[in-house]
Amino acid sequence: MTAVTAGLAAQLVLALLSSVLTFSVPARARSRVSGISCALISTAGAATGALALAGGRGSLTIPLALPVDPLTLSPDRLGGLFMLVASAVGILVSVYGISYAHGPSASRTSWAALAFFLVGMQLVPAAADAMSFLLMWEVMALASTALLLADHAHGRQVSSATVWYSAMSQLSFLLLLGGFTVLSAAAESTSFSAMRAVSSQSPTASIVFVILILGFGSKAGLVPLHVWLPRAHPEAPSHISAAMSAAMVKMGVYGALLVCIRLLPDGPAWWGVLLLILGGISAMYGILQAAVASDVKKLLAYSTTENVGLIFLGLGASMLLRSYDATAAADVAIIAALFLVVSHAAFKAPLFLGAGSILHATGERNLDRLGGLGRRMPWTGAAFGIASLGAAALPITSGFVAEWMLLQGLIHGARVDGELVSLPVSIAMPLAVAVIALTAGLALLTFVKAYGIAFLARPRSPAAASAHEVPALMRIAPLIGAVAILALGLLPGPVAVALASAIGPEAVMNVRTIGLAGVGLPSIGALLDPVGLLIAAALVAIPVLTIIVVTSKRHPQRVAKLVWGGGGERNNPRMQYTATSYAEPLLRVFDDVLQPSRDVQVTHVDESRYLVQRIKVEQRVSDRVETGLYRPVLSFADRIGVLARRLQNGSIHRYLGYSFAALLVVLVAVSL
């Protein structure tokens, strides 16, 4: 009975306890009690994960009534890392939920579901065999579906979002089931340790790889399997969106890692290329859609697709490089991918929680109707701002470190001590760098838009004008996230080393802590010390600040109603740039990719058709993957469904005919 075993058991027990509690306490105390117990579950998870990441071992086995291997939970270092990430997010979410959850999202069902959602997510990375992996996976899926439909009564889209979400997660589940089935058939066992025996070069391995990657991709929100994200995330209660986006999606990433570096290590080169392409497309498509979205939660959802894309890109690059023995760069790339995972969890949680606070304060998700919240909600604004910096990968945040490592890995990948490793790599790497660069640039724009439009300038609607700061817990949770972003960004060294240890002992060779807590990549001779950078900035800032202090003695700041305001009157707040107009140039530039649908209605005055009375412009950006790929399939299925009705048209003669035909066929068959 090691500490890890105890931790695993504790999570299960706590989950059961907390659901019991949820159903027993009165409604007044419910949110508090359940929230705290959920936080406890995640704390247990975090502790277990940390232990496992530090190398602690332990396993929990549950026998089944069926003649299969017993369920076995036994996290390795990698699993520990993901358990830790999920649990950390879980804690924030639970704490935030205590104040945020209200109405349907504070119902008994929702809180109980949250408990199981958390425990499911935290135990997926602990699974040591296919059956228990699938079990936890489905617990996670079921609970999240229940949470998603919490507010079905008011959200118009909730119902359809639920259907899409559950269908896509079932697709993912069935793909995983298929993949693991093939693999376990080859390995003659469902335990992961046995599956490692299957050779990665065999065609079976390739089939399994593709199936599993698709399955995990659809949970991780890779294009073209991402369609559920922009539907589910906006409709779910915000703290649930946070958990989904910051933690659940990571389970897809964990699965991909499980396949690529644990179950089927050292696969053929084209696996890497496949991941590279999938990741690249997802990253660019995701960030483009995010850039033009004006629903803040939809924006965040698409940005999740982008980040997952980057993670898969890093993973793919690493596999490609490894298959050409550029191990140092490969390790750096995959460590960078893990850093992206951690950092995305760190900034996406506060972003969604912040969005929740905005929703709570203004009842608005649409950026076009927000503005000026920075002064009305300073704490939320600060947290959201820092998180946006993280999402835009600017220095001293965690996002910057991650992208920096990834880029370093890529640019040093194509050549090992002066020797060109291979032509494909020398073409893939520049392309990858370009993709990352474009993505980063657009992310910059996206989050300047998100923060600037929502928190700066003047309120664009009365709701925004009458906004108020949210209760304490809802302020604290995002701020913790923001602190985490800065901590990871300022002290990346130890973090990177820990991540490397999750990959494997040889990866640890390629990364070390430099200076105060900077990260150094000895094998490719690059280092980054954010603290040093910060100090330098502080030094150069000192004279500037002194000048400010001195001059502001004699020349204090004056506040005027109107500074210049484009000349003339202070114009109406509605004449400010909105999120839509902010992204408009971009929309034009990427017209071919996004294909927005515009329609302009001009109504003339009766007297003359040269004088215009009213112009109505409507512009819609729809997800082209959905309209182009899913709609046809769905309508086809629908047609089948209509046709199939004729099979059961009620005529008993026809029914007897079926039986008769079957009888004749069977008779002929057996007599042949």
Site for other proteins in 434-453 (CB under 8 A): 434, 436-438, 440-442, 444-445, 448-449, 451-453
Q: Is 194 in the site for other proteins (CB under 8 A)?
A: no
Question: Looking at beta carbons only, is 68 or 269 nearer to other proteins?
Answer: 68
Out of 265, 522, 585, 628, the only residue in the binding site for other proteins (CB under 8 A) is 585
Question: Which of the residues 388 through 427 are near other proteins (CB under 8 A)?
Answer: 392-395, 400, 404, 407-408, 411-412, 414-415, 418, 420, 426-427
Q: Is 63 in the site for other proteins (CB under 8 A)?
A: yes
Question: How near is the Cβ of 457 to other proteins at its closest, in Å?
Answer: 4
Q: Is 152 in the site for other proteins (CB under 8 A)?
A: yes
Q: Is 193 in the site for other proteins (CB under 8 A)?
A: no
Stretch that binds other proteins, among 4-12, 315-323, 429-437, 484-492 (CB under 8 A): 429-437
**Exposure string over 293-306, b if 16+ CB within 10 A, otherwise e:** bbbbbbbbbbbbbb
Alpha helices, DSSP H, located in 267-397: 269-292, 296-323, 327-362, 373-376, 378-391
Question: How near is the Cβ of 324 to other proteins at its closest, in Å?
Answer: 13
Stretch that binds other proteins, among 87-95, 240-248, 501-509, 563-571 (CB under 8 A): 563-571
Q: Is 210 in the site for other proteins (CB under 8 A)?
A: no
End-to-end CA distance of the chain, in Å? 63
Question: How near is the Cβ of 659 to other proteins at its closest, in Å?
Answer: 5
Question: Looking at beta carbons only, is 96 or 582 nearer to other proteins?
Answer: 582
Out of 59, 170, 513, 523, the only residue in the binding site for other proteins (CB under 8 A) is 170
Stretch that binds other proteins, among 92-100, 132-140, 301-309, 598-606 (CB under 8 A): 132-140
Phi, psi of 372 (to 5 degrees): 65, 15
Question: Which of the residues 589 through 628 are near other proteins (CB under 8 A)?
Answer: 589
Q: Is 28 in the site for other proteins (CB under 8 A)?
A: no
Q: Is 30 in the site for other proteins (CB under 8 A)?
A: no
Question: Looking at beta carbons only, is 78 or 401 nearer to other proteins?
Answer: 401
DSSP per-residue letters across 84-104: HHHHHHHHHHHHHHHHH--GG
Out of 466, 551, 597, 613, the only residue in the binding site for other proteins (CB under 8 A) is 551
Q: How many CB atoms lie within 10 A of CB 43?
A: 18
Question: How near is the Cβ of 384 to other proteins at its closest, in Å?
Answer: 13
Q: Please, which residues have CB within 8 angstroms of residue 47's CB and are 6 or more apart in sequence? A: 7
| 366 secondary structure, DSSP code | B
Q: Is 652 in the site for other proteins (CB under 8 A)?
A: yes
Out of 3, 6, 142, 483, the only residue in the binding site for other proteins (CB under 8 A) is 142
Question: Looking at beta carbons only, is 2 or 552 nearer to other proteins?
Answer: 552
CA-wise closest residue to 445 among 305, 621, 585, 272: 585
C-beta separation of 82 from 121 below 8 A: no
Q: How many CB atoms lie within 10 A of CB 553?
A: 8
- For β-strands 419-420 and 512-514, DSSP reports them as unpaired
Give me the half-sphere count of Cα atoms (radius 13 Å) on the Cβ side of residue 332.
Answer: 28
Question: Looking at beta carbons only, is 411 or 487 nearer to other proteins?
Answer: 411
Question: Looking at beta carbons only, is 505 or 543 nearer to other proteins?
Answer: 543
CA-wise closest residue to 251 among 143, 386, 408: 143
| Three-state DSSP string of 566-618 | CCCCCCCHHHCCCHHHHHHHHHHHCHHHHCCEEEEEEEECCCCCCCEEEEEEE
Structure token pair of residue 137: 């996976």
| 470 secondary structure, DSSP code | P
Q: Is 545 in the site for other proteins (CB under 8 A)?
A: yes
Q: Is 153 in the site for other proteins (CB under 8 A)?
A: yes
Stretch that binds other proteins, among 191-199, 227-235, 320-328, 658-666 (CB under 8 A): 658-666
Question: Which of the residues 244 through 303 are near other proteins (CB under 8 A)?
Answer: none
Q: Which amino acid is at 579?
A: A
Question: Looking at beta carbons only, is 54 or 548 nearer to other proteins?
Answer: 548
Out of 17, 25, 163, 483, the only residue in the binding site for other proteins (CB under 8 A) is 163
Question: Looking at beta carbons only, is 558 or 616 nearer to other proteins?
Answer: 558
Phi, psi of 600 (to 5 degrees): -115, 125
Question: Looking at beta carbons only, is 77 or 233 nearer to other proteins?
Answer: 233
C-beta separation of 137 from 176 below 8 A: yes
Question: How near is the Cβ of 670 to other proteins at its closest, in Å?
Answer: 5
Q: Is 529 in the site for other proteins (CB under 8 A)?
A: yes
CA-wise closest residue to 315 among 298, 296, 331, 299: 331
Question: How near is the Cβ of 51 to other proteins at its closest, in Å?
Answer: 26
Round to whole Å and give the CA distance between 338 and 330: 13
Question: How near is the Cβ of 408 to other proteins at its closest, in Å?
Answer: 7
Question: How near is the Cβ of 280 to other proteins at its closest, in Å?
Answer: 12
- Rounded to the nearest angstrom, the gap between the alpha carbon of residue 370 and the centroid of all alpha carbons in its chain is 24
Burial bucket for residue 497 (CB in 10 Å: 0-12, 13-18, 19+): middle
Structure token pair of residue 520: 């150094």
Q: Quick one: angle between helices 249-257 and 203-220, nearest 10?
A: 160
Question: Which of the residues 325 through 384 are near other proteins (CB under 8 A)?
Answer: 371-372, 374-375
Question: How near is the Cβ of 176 to other proteins at its closest, in Å?
Answer: 10
Question: How near is the Cβ of 608 to other proteins at its closest, in Å?
Answer: 28
Angle made by CA atoms 368, 381, 97, in degrees to the nearest 5: 95
Residue the block writes with tokens 């617990």? 139
Q: Is 642 in the site for other proteins (CB under 8 A)?
A: yes
Q: Is 430 in the site for other proteins (CB under 8 A)?
A: yes
Q: Which amino acid is at 454?
A: A
Binding string, residues 450-489; x marks residues near other proteins by CB under 8 A? -xxx-xxxx-------------------------------
- Rounded to the nearest angstrom, the gap between the alpha carbon of residue 177 and the centroid of all alpha carbons in its chain is 23
Question: Looking at beta carbons only, is 67 or 505 nearer to other proteins?
Answer: 67
What are the CA-CA distances from residue 275 to residues 252, 253, 431, 499 (Å)? 13, 12, 14, 21
The dihedral region occupied by 580, where left means phi > 0, alpha psi between -120 and 50, and beta the remainder, is alpha
Round to whole Å and give the CA distance between 470 and 379: 9
Q: Is 9 in the site for other proteins (CB under 8 A)?
A: no
Q: Quick one: angle between helices 27-53 and 492-503, nearest 10?
A: 70
Question: How near is the Cβ of 648 to other proteins at its closest, in Å?
Answer: 4
Out of 28, 553, 561, 620, the only residue in the binding site for other proteins (CB under 8 A) is 561
Q: Is 505 in the site for other proteins (CB under 8 A)?
A: no
- Residues in contact with other proteins, counted by CB under 8 A, come to a total of 158
Stretch that binds other proteins, among 82-90, 231-239, 247-255, 646-654 (CB under 8 A): 646-654
Q: Is 563 in the site for other proteins (CB under 8 A)?
A: yes
